[in-house]
Structure 1
Amino acid sequence: MLLESVLLDGNPDMKTWIVVSVAAILGLGVGVGSALVRLEQAPWDGSAAPTKPNESAATIPTGPHPTAVAETDKHDFGALDSHATGRHSFVIKNTGQAVLKLTKGSTSCKCTASLLGDNAESADVPTGGSTEVTLEWKGKGFKGPFNQTATINTNDPEHPRLTFTISGRIVTAVSIAPTNLVLSGITAGEPATGELKLFGYLEKPLKITGYEVTDKTTADKFDLAFEPLPPEEIAKEQDARSGQIVRVTVKPGLPLGAFQQKIVLKTDAENAPTVEIPVQGTISSEIAIIGSGWDDGRQILSLGTVSSQAGLERTIRILVRGPERNDVKIKPLSATPSLLQVETGIPTEWQGGQVVQIPLTVRIPKGARPAHYLGTDEDKLAQITLETTHSKAPQLRLLVRFAVVN
């Protein structure tokens, strides 16, 4: 009734005010009513309204919860021996107000293992407590830098995952440079010395505790000496922490021709107790050899593959120069295998008497049993040793490569 009387009054400004007021009153009434209905269905507990999944507001824990704190999450092993297993433990503390639950997560490769306690899959850390997570890296079969991770899952709402990283470089415990020693053109009757560098890559300084010359027939002709490698030389080798200079001296008395020896160094490195050094060279003098199949650089006579039914005979020449050339006598001392037949001929003058040449005949007789002395491994070749009366070359040694087939 009030509304009707006002509208009939004919005042246009009053009409507008009344309409707006009524709309506002109606909207307020609807809103209050909706709120009352919601309160009846879900009473308000005083907390803020939850955010929608796509809203950017951070989750705020409500009530007691654990807090995972890692003292550090990275460890660099530095240089790690390829035979060793690197292991480092990270500490996780629970500084929260509830039990912290930890479980193993993923690792970046099979070489890294995350451990909780005694290799357990999970661990519970009480308030104020701590536990260790151990990461392991096995360097076997690997060389160079590595960087690996392991993840631990937690029930800490602010840190649901902890990632730990280990890094370093896999190196050998010991190396030697060069890897073999070559002493070419040693003059008979004179000593010769070669030098190598032995590097240690581990924290403990490398020490040489002894050595062995493996071929006992000429072992007394080799002598070794050691001294620390200067710091500036060690610095030139990446990751090296210590080093030794190894000097190998070949004393007079080895037979003329090619020689081979193997020296085994003994060290205090747990994973590299021995280091092998192949040694090879040539003893030369006023005596030389020429002829078909003769390799003067390697001092090897190649006879090829020989038929047992046909056999083989090869004659080469021994040349003698110098003041002793007319007085030198040469004769076979030994041949291995015994099927090799060796004999020397009558000396003759050559090049106007400046050189004396002595024929040397090597024979594989008909009917010889099958044999194999081919290949590149000089230790497995046949060998002929000659005895001479030359003052600086009491022996000549020739390696022979051949095979006998039926």
Structure 2
Amino acid sequence: MKTTSVLAMFAALVAAIAGLAYFTGNPGRTPAPAAAPPVANADGKTPADGKEAPPADAGPDFHLENPFKLDLTAAAKPQASTEAVEFDFGAMAPDEERTHKFSVRNTGKAPLTLAKGRYQCKCTMPTLKKGEVLTVQPGEETFVEMTWKPIAPEEMFQKSVNIWSNDPDHPQLTFNVRGKVVPHIIAEPASYTLGLIRNETGGDFKGLVGSQTDVFEIVEATSDNPQISVTTTKLEGADRPAEFTDAKALFRVEGKIAPSDKVGTVRGILTLKTNLETHPVVEINVGGHLTGPFTVVGTGWDQVNSGFDLGRVDTSKGKAVKYSIFLPKTGEEIKFETIESKPNIARITAKKDESFTAADRERHELTVEILPGAPKAEFSNARPVVVKVKSNHPNVAEATFRVMYRGY
């Protein structure tokens, strides 16, 4: 008897556990309904908190449409008065947060009620919570607070918020904040491209680096190329350019690509170390091309690669293109002679321009030719015709040029 009772109790316990597992794990079961929210009384108050109940069309925390009934015939009406509806934050940095308060005063004879409409930034009104409305008594005022925190540079931004009211003459109030978002550190220009540089003079560059942070300092300035030098100077007071208003702290950056007897492109990276933990280093690219003792002018001349692109060439006839080459004056008649062409299908010659009267330089007419009978092929920058020229000029004893064309 006792054994039977124990077994019965054990079976009942197993059944209870199984039933509980089925209820909690079976998605087909319907849980008990949640408690219903408090219902507003006729006066618009809820018994639980005594606050005004949200209108029926309240969104997550704003109203799509004006929730108030506008009484155009009332003898005593509310009147929403604002001193300003726009504010310019000016220049801001990414992740910087700024706030502005707009005043709304009730200059009418009846209570003014306000509710939040659509908005594009953080917007708050005192004591106004999700879905609630705010009442402003005659003669009193409240504030609409707009906060904006950008995350990336932007040339210009404008954010707005709509506030609904029961003022029949001003049922919707729109407030705007605007400004621009500049980088934490501003470099103007962002890089230095000096173009063609005369070897005997080198090339100078100058710019500005600033920050929205008052304490910004450049503590060290270096270059990874010994041919490029750089210095920085803090600008204050009258030394600051009047048009450069986006930075609270500003430095002038000056440097030089030094003169050299080498011909070709010079590149380097300026490294500016700062005192900002968030942006400890600013890197700026610098580049230019040292032209050597001569300068060539003409269509198809590639200064960087010392190359001539003659375009399409009828190889049965050949083609000659004329350029100008300027050299330091020596007082002697300068002669050019092609000493090698690989393959042997091109020639470069020069003739002095006697009408050119500059004090320190002379001009020669440089003729670059593809000779008749050249192959119908494409000679590109990757596979050019290489031509070596010698001269009796003391600074251009020998020069190597690349000639490109597309034969047909």
TM-score interval (norm. to shorter): 0.3 to 0.5
TM-score (norm 2): 0.47
TM-score (norm 1): 0.47
